[in-house]
A and B are shown apart, each in its own frame.
Chain A
Amino acid sequence: MKNLKNLLSKPWQPTPSWFVLAWSLVSLVGFLDATYLTIQHYTGGNVNCNLFSGCEKVLASPYAIIWGVPLALVGVAFYLLMLLLMVLHWEHGVRWALLLGILGSVGAWVFSLVMIYLQLMVIESLCQYCLLSALTATTLFILSLVWLRRQTVAE
């Protein structure tokens, strides 16, 4: 809690450029993945499920749509936001942009865990595109941890 307070009030260690690059690239991968699924969702195209059979089952399950919005589209918005927030932070030095990105990455990681649980236990099929998204979300989460650690260790 004290660390968090310090984080908000004290000046930060400069964000290293490799961090910005990694974060942006991972967000971009997640964005492309989600975009592909969104296009397939709306055009009704056949998703290429060559890694695990039954990935269509995941994409056609009730869990693929939340309040009438396909999850893939939520993914597009999320990864786009993650990318733009990082650019906003890096180019304009906006602090809340990075904090929001970190908060988002934690949320997305927890959400991904729930989705993997659903795939394994409820739908009993895996979808490679969804797993890729879980991987990018996890990477963003790890990057967030690394960043937070840099800030607290330096104090």
Chain B
Amino acid sequence: MNNENSSEDLTIKEQRELQRQEKQARAEERARSQGARRWLVWFGVALVIVGGVWGMTKLAKQQPTVVTGEPIPAVSASDRTNGATNAKVTLIEYSDFQCPACGAYYPILKKLNEELGGKVMFVYRYFPLRGIHQNAQISAQAGEAAGLQGKFWQMHDILFDNQAVWSDLPNAQDTFVKYATNLGLDVERFERDMDSDAVKNKIENDYQAGIKSGINSTPSFFLNGEKITGPQSYEEFKKLIEQALATNA
């Protein structure tokens, strides 16, 4: 097929030249349209990528707002409460033992409880920010497991007092067991409870209820069911509670 014809005559030579020129013209035309097509394809790809990122950003932002609105559940027997029972004013905190802001509010709440504990009920609910705090979940389990032996608030205090100690530990569980020992808990039971479905479900229920109420950060405070935006100081917080006490007197 590829044999070169040694005895070419002029007409064949001319024909070949013509064919070559036509071929070149076609190739140029193809290259031109291909260039336009390539440009379009790359543009389309860029558009899809930018559109995709935009869409994902929207989706990521959307979630908390979609689920807002439901009131938080009323205080029940399964809640970890402190202060006055049957109080006129209830302060519910959705919190994460590993969240630094919760740690900052901890002394404020402790002081409030000392001063107003006779008239106000304080409730702690679990809202572990598992997406950003590696020990959020296990610390909540430690708190709840201590609660099953009647020492939730003692464990609560120890966890917040030592937040910086255990926050980054890969095996925080061991540290929590030590805290349990110090509190004089039945350690074997504590370890069993910490890993039990009952404890995990309790935390998950708190968390899901919080999500349904539109909570997206910790700590989130609810004074008699109304969400309050984080008071900046002890005085501010106390004033808010005293106002609630006055209106519900």
Contact surface of A with B, Cβ cutoff 8 Å: 28, 31-32, 35-36, 39-41, 43-48, 53-54, 56-57, 59-62, 80, 83-84, 87, 90-92
Spell out B's residues near A (CB within 8 Å).
37-38, 41-42, 45, 48-49, 52-53, 55-57, 59-61, 63-64, 129-134, 136-137, 170, 204, 211, 216
Asked if residues A60 and B211 are in contact (CB atoms below 8 Å), the reply is no
**A56 and B130 form a contact (CB under 8 A):** yes
- CB-nearest residue of chain B to A84: B45
A62 and B134 in contact, given A32-B56, A40-B60, A48-B63 (Cβ under 8 angstroms): yes
CA distance A48 to B129 in the complex (A): 12
Q: How far is the CB of A27 from chain B (nearest CB, A)?
A: 10
Nearest chain A CB to B21's CB is how many angstroms away?
Answer: 25
Contact A46 B211 (CB under 8 A): yes
Compute the total of residue contacts between A and B using a CB distance below 8 Å: 68
* Chain A residues closer than 8 Å to B131, beta-carbon distance: 40-41, 44-47, 56, 59-60
From known contacts A32-B56, A35-B53, A91-B38, infer whether A45 and B48 are also in contact, taking CB-CB under 8 Å: no
CB neighbours (8 Å) of B57 from chain A are 39
Distance to closest chain A CB from B97 (angstroms) = 14
Q: Choose from A43, A57, A87 the contact partner of B45 (Cβ within 8 Å).
A: A87
- B38 neighbours in A (Cβ, 8 Å): 91-92
A45 close to B134 (CB less than 8 A)? no
Contacts of B204 in A (CB 8 A): 53
Please state if A39 and B60 are interface contacts (CB–CB under 8 Å): yes
Out of A28, A46, A87, name the residue touching B63 (CB < 8 Å). A46
